[in-house]
């Protein structure tokens, strides 16, 4: 007995030592020190131009008849007039209302790069206008903040890229690698006529980009609980999306003599099963890389868990799966969104239908998902239907070891010293689903700071960006283009 106790204690002691040693060794990998860069810019003039850009109501409506074509034409005209250096030094083409600029590099042997953003915006939800502290299309600048729809998504990126190129031209910079700039007009509608057409045209010309940079993640400030430093996940992939119909079948008839279970009951069971059996996922590949990197900078206690995945894998999985945002990083998510059944209160339904939206993680294909869902809801009275070709799989996963990633990483660290840069996964969609088809690697990242408060402005109320934040973003784009296309 005594021997057994000694053995148990020795085992526990050894385990503790291993856990502690691994935790102490879980430190940032030695990366090259990056020098802080500060570029003097005319912040007020830049803010003024974003303010003007916001005032064009370039809204993408679901209903195309509501579209204000003049706003788009005026914006394009304004862009050319406001950035004459860009307009005169770069060639430009229009694809619908999307403008593609081309800055010829001195070395045609090198693959070109592309920077892109979109200047269309989502509508302001009718009735919420009065909730805005400054009207959504006023572009008002008050207390160092620029207000309005597009301040973050994504006119700020469009303006910051234009300002970056303007600054580089003024300072005599000549790109060695050619640079494309594409400013989309229908990203909020999936980008078929803008980014889709640009990508098709590039493909036709035989252009294969070294890398592209589009909207995506930000320099996160205080977004993740427990992390008190800046984190910049450069998104290297975006999730796919598919909606499946789960259909429960039954006999129907009069509601006065119902069977033990109606189609609605059968459907409810199927949905409950789906919610109780999330699509398998976990800390691996891209998600593992991200959490591993960030956890090296965490305080001791959370670090213990990430440094010892061999022991705490299950605990962490449970913890991360419990939060909507971190869960979405780990797996394909399941979201029942729409329901329909009988047409009348006293008529038994012959079909009860739920529409379930799944956001596909790069680890799952559409076919994988459909067979998983079928296996979970398995019941002779339940069908899983989907329109062939209706969904889209996740994008390819771009390399976080390639030059483009390193260029963006370096620029972030130069402008935002001390930021932890990791690869990330985009849980929404972007125009990169098109550009990724003509680029070796597609990255999705906006070099602006984003706080929880800012996040609420996305497609919401009181969208805003500070003058200082905008200026830092311009500086980051300058560094990105300099490193990406030049020295």
Positions marked active-site: 120, 187
What is the SS3 assignment for 14?
helix
Could you give the residue ranges of the DSSP H alpha helices within 26-68? 43-55
Q: How many CB atoms lie within 10 A of CB 271?
A: 18
Q: How many CB atoms lie within 10 A of CB 76?
A: 20
Shortest spacing between CB 262 and Zn ion, in angstroms = 43
CA atoms within 13 A on the CB side of 59: 19
Contact assessment for residue 409 and residue 421, using Cβ atoms and an 8 Å cutoff: yes
Q: How far is it, in rounded angstroms, from Cα 95 to Cα 184? A: 9
Contact assessment for residue 177 and residue 77, using Cβ atoms and an 8 Å cutoff: no
Contact assessment for residue 454 and residue 142, using Cβ atoms and an 8 Å cutoff: no
- The full DSSP string for 367-381 is HHHHHHHHHHH--TT
Q: Which is nearer to Zn ion, 60 or 466 (CB)?
A: 60
Q: Which is nearer to Zn ion, 105 or 184 (CB)?
A: 184
Q: Which is nearer to Zn ion, 55 or 430 (CB)?
A: 430
Going by C-beta distance under 8 Å and a sequence separation of 6 or more, which residues neighbour residue 252?
A: 347, 348, 349, 350
Q: Which is nearer to Zn ion, 214 or 414 (CB)?
A: 214
Q: Which is nearer to Zn ion, 311 or 428 (CB)?
A: 428
Indicate the pairing of strand 209-220 with strand 439-450.
parallel
Q: Which is nearer to Zn ion, 153 or 463 (CB)?
A: 153
**Would you give the distance in Å from CA 341 to the centre of its chain?**
35
Question: Two tokens at 285?
Answer: 């590949």
Contact assessment for residue 233 and residue 135, using Cβ atoms and an 8 Å cutoff: no
Q: How far is it, in rounded angstroms, from Cα 328 to Cα 358? A: 10
Q: How far is it, in rounded angstroms, from Cα 477 to Cα 475? A: 5
Residues near Zn ion, by CB under 5 A: 153-154, 215
Shortest spacing between CB 240 and Zn ion, in angstroms = 17
Q: Which is nearer to Zn ion, 376 or 465 (CB)?
A: 465
Shortest spacing between CB 201 and Zn ion, in angstroms = 22
Contact assessment for residue 175 and residue 481, using Cβ atoms and an 8 Å cutoff: yes
Q: Which is nearer to Zn ion, 122 or 267 (CB)?
A: 122
Strands (E), 126-239: 141-142, 145-147, 179-184, 209-220, 231-238
Shortest spacing between CB 186 and Zn ion, in angstroms = 11
Question: Two tokens at 388?
Answer: 């062939």
Shortest spacing between CB 412 and Zn ion, in angstroms = 19
Going by C-beta distance under 8 Å and a sequence separation of 6 or more, which residues neighbour residue 340?
A: 352, 353
Helix (H) or strand (E) holding 314: helix 309-321
Q: How far apart are the first and last CA of the chain?
A: 71
Q: How far is it, in rounded angstroms, from Cα 309 to Cα 305? A: 6
Shortest spacing between CB 304 and Zn ion, in angstroms = 38
Q: How far is it, in rounded angstroms, from Cα 132 to Cα 142? A: 13
């Amino acid at each position: 007995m005594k021997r057994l106790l000694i053995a148990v204690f020795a085992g526990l002691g050894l385990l503790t030592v291993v856990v502690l040693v691994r935790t102490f060794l879980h430190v940032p990998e030695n990366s090259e020190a990056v020098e802080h860069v500060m570029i003097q810019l005319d912040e007020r003039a830049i803010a003024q131009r974003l303010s003007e850009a916001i005032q064009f109501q370039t809204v993408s409506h679901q209903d195309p008849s509501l579209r204000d074509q003049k706003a788009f034409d005026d914006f394009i005209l304004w862009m050319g007039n406001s950035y004459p250096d860009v307009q005169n030094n770069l060639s430009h083409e229009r694809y619908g209302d999307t403008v593609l600029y081309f800055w010829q590099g001195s070395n045609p042997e090198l693959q070109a790069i592309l920077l892109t953003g979109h200047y269309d915006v989502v509508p302001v939800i009718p009735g919420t206008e009065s909730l805005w502290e400054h009207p959504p299309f006023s572009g008002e600048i008050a207390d160092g903040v620029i207000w309005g729809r597009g301040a973050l998504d994504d006119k700020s990126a469009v303006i910051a890229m234009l300002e970056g190129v303007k600054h580089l031209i003024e300072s005599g910079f000549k790109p060695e690698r050619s640079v494309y700039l594409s400013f989309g007009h229908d990203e909020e509608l999936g980008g078929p006529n803008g980014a889709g057409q640009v990508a098709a045209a590039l493909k036709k010309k035989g252009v294969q980009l070294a890398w592209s940079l589009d909207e995506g993640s930000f320099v996160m400030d205080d977004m993740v609980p427990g992390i008190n430093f800046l984190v910049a996940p450069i998104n290297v992939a975006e999730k796919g999306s598919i909606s499946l119909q789960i259909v429960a079948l039954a006999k129907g008839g009069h509601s006065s003599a119902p069977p033990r279970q109606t189609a609605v009951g059968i459907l409810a069971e199927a949905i409950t099963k789906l919610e109780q059996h999330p699509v398998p996922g976990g800390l691996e590949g891209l998600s593992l890389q991200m959490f591993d990197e960030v956890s090296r900078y965490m305080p001791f206690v959370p670090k213990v868990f990430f440094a010892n995945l061999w022991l705490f894998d299950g605990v962490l999985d449970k913890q991360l799966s419990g939060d909507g945002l971190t869960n979405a990083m780990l797996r394909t998510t399941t979201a029942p969104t729409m329901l329909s059944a009988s047409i009348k209160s006293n008529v038994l339904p012959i079909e009860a239908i739920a529409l379930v939206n799944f956001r596909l993680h790069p680890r799952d294909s559409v076919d994988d998902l459909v067979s998983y869902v079928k296996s979970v809801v398995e019941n002779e009275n339940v069908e899983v239907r989907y329109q062939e070709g209706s969904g889209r799989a996740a994008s390819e996963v771009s390399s976080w070891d390639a030059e483009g990633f390193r260029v963006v990483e370096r620029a972030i660290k130069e402008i935002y010293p001390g930021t932890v840069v990791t690869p990330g996964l985009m849980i929404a969609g972007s125009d990169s689903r098109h550009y990724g088809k003509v680029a070796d690697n597609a990255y999705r990242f906006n070099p602006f700071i984003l706080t929880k408060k800012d996040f609420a402005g996305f497609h919401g109320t009181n969208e805003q960006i500070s003058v200082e934040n905008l200026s830092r973003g311009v500086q980051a784009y300058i560094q990105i283009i300099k490193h990406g296309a030049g020295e």
